[in-house]
Amino acid sequence: MYKYIIRRILVFIPMLFALSVIVFALAKAAPGDPFTTMLDPNVDREVFEERKEALGLNDPVPVQYARWIGSAVQGDFGESIVYNGRPVMDLIQARFWNTIYLGLVALFFTIIVAIPIGIYSARNPYSMLDYAATGFGFIGLAIPNFFFGLLAIYFLSIKLGWFPPQGTVSGSEVSGFQEFVDRMHHMILPGITLGLASTATYMRYMRSEVLDVLGSDYIRTAKAKGMTDHNVLYKHTLRNALIPIITLMGFEFGVLVGGAVITERVFNYPGLGTLFLDAIINRDYPIVMALTLIFGVFILVGNLLADIFYSIVDPRIRYD
């Protein structure tokens, strides 16, 4: 098992290297540079030319890549161009935990809603609640994130005043436990908004998997030998039904760190998604590169975790 994990981690390194080459090449191939869109008639274009020269943006792409990878392996991801020389890592760090917390809250909502309802629907198919859950599932999948977010803000924040409409915290004066509570309070609406679509997906998955397993031969055998419904469900059915959900969550882990641009925008919740999108639009190469690598690492780790969980849930799966 440990050998397997170490081997997998070693494989990450060439993969990340390949990823960085591809992303760097693509980023440089995109037309324009960080200064293209700074169209200010009061500023002489020469000034931007000088800046480009100073930043080495006029060098051949392989030279630029060598310079970037040279400092990246030493842990230095350089300085943002658009944010005027602020270290990339500082900018990422400020938003990283926001994104992680929001993702976890969304995942939490997804799990507490989707799994119980999924199980219930499977055990009582074609019941009222099953139809209601199916209906909710379709709505959840069909409704665009931003629209749900705006509705939530309008009714729950502005009309009813239950939740703060924007941001992650009420101000810099709150601290300690108060701050924790305040941040949680700010996270509920964006968390639900972000988790909505995956809740619907998980619920559908859970329902069909449980139904599937419940119809299989070994369950019939278990029932035949007199096992209670309860034991059949929790001892045999759930374990088997969870496998595809774990795969989904493995992917989700990477997606979660990638941030949620639209939810972040609507709730003005500063996270990595918005930072990444803005960096791409502004051609802020150092940020694009650092974030791509981080996303890459998380997707790989997410898949690794999924593989490890398989072996826990399903003892037949062994790695060596």
Partner 1 sequence: MLNKKFWYLLLVLTIFAFLLVACNSESSDEPEDEDPDTEQEEESNEDEEEESEQEGPVAGGEIVGAMDTAPAGVFNPIFYQEAYEANILDFTHEGLVSQNDSLEFIPSLAHDWEINEDQTEITLYLEEGVTWHDGEDFTADDVVFTYTTIASPGYVEAGGIRTEYVTPLEGYEEFNAGETEEFAGVTAEDDHTVTFHFAEPNVNPLYYVGFPIIPEHVFADVAIEDMPTHEATLDPGKVIGTGPFAFTDMVEREEYVLTRHDDYWQGQPYLEKITWQIVDQSVITSLLETGDIDFVADPSGVPAADYEMVEGYDNVELIEQPDFGYQIMGFKLNYRTEEDVEAGTIDPDNWVENPDVADQQVRQAIAYAIDRQGLVDGLLYGRGSVINAPIAQQFWAYTEDVPQYEHSTDEAEALLDDAGYVDTDGDGFRENPDGEEWVLELAYPTGNQIRERSAPVIQENLEAVGIKVNLRQPKEMSAYVEDVMENDVDNGVDLYLIGWSLGSGDPDPSGLWNITAAYNMSRWNNPDSDELIFKALEAPDAFEQEFRKQTYQEWQELFATDLPAVLLYAQNKIYGFNERLNGIDPLPYSMINDPHLWWVDDAE
Give one DSSP letter per residue of 117-169, joined into a string: HHHHHHHSTTSHHHHHHHHHHHHHHHS-HHHHHHHHIIIIIIIS--S-SSSSS
Nearer to partner 1, 113 or 197 (CB): 113
Q: Which of the ranges 38-46, 65-73, 196-204, 217-225 carries the binding residues for partner 1, by CB under 8 A? A: 38-46
Nearer to partner 1, 167 or 254 (CB): 167
Query: To the nearest whole angstrom, how small is the minimum distance from the Cβ of residue 107 to partner 1?
Result: 11
32 binds partner 1 (CB under 8 A): yes
8 Å CB contact between 101 and 260: no
Q: Which of the ranges 127-135, 208-216, 263-271, 300-308 carries the binding residues for partner 1, by CB under 8 A? A: 263-271
User: 186-216 burial string, b = 16+ CB within 10 Å, else e?
Assistant: bbbbbbbbbbbbbbbbbbbbbbebbbebbee
Query: To the nearest whole angstrom, how small is the minimum distance from the Cβ of residue 20 to partner 1?
Result: 22
How big is the site for partner 1, counted in residues (CB under 8 A)? 65
For 87, the 3-state DSSP assignment is strand
303-310 long-range contacts, CB within 8 A, separation 24+: 303/250, 303/251, 303/254, 304/5, 304/8, 304/9, 305/250, 305/253, 306/246, 306/247, 306/249, 306/250, 306/251, 306/253, 307/8, 307/250, 308/1, 308/5, 309/246, 309/250, 310/243, 310/246
Q: Which residue from 141, 169, 255, 297 is in contact with partner 1, where contact means CB under 8 A?
A: 169
3-state helix, strand, coil in the chain (%, to 5): 75, 0, 25
- Quote the CA–CA distance of 166 and 171 in Å, as a whole number: 12
Nearer to partner 1, 12 or 146 (CB): 146
8 binds partner 1 (CB under 8 A): no
151 binds partner 1 (CB under 8 A): no
Q: Which residue from 23, 114, 153, 210 is in contact with partner 1, where contact means CB under 8 A?
A: 153
Nearer to partner 1, 82 or 306 (CB): 82
Query: To the nearest whole angstrom, how small is the minimum distance from the Cβ of residue 268 to partner 1?
Result: 5
For 79, the 3-state DSSP assignment is strand
158 binds partner 1 (CB under 8 A): yes
Among 66, 134, 140, CA closest to 109: 140
Q: Residues near 274 by Cβ (< 8 Å), separated by ≥ 6? A: 95, 259, 261, 264, 265
Nearer to partner 1, 169 or 248 (CB): 169
How many other CB atoms are found less than 10 A from the CB of residue 317? Answer: 13
17 binds partner 1 (CB under 8 A): no
Site string for partner 1, 212-231 (x = CB under 8 A): -------------------x
Query: To the nearest whole angstrom, how small is the minimum distance from the Cβ of residue 320 to partner 1?
Result: 24
Nearer to partner 1, 111 or 294 (CB): 111
Nearer to partner 1, 48 or 298 (CB): 48
Query: To the nearest whole angstrom, how small is the minimum distance from the Cβ of residue 163 to partner 1?
Result: 8
**Residues in touch with partner 1 (CB under 8 A):** 30-33, 36-45, 47-51, 54, 79, 82-87, 94-95, 108, 111-112, 150, 153-154, 158, 161-162, 165-172, 180-182, 184-185, 188, 231, 234-235, 238-239, 265-268, 270, 281-283
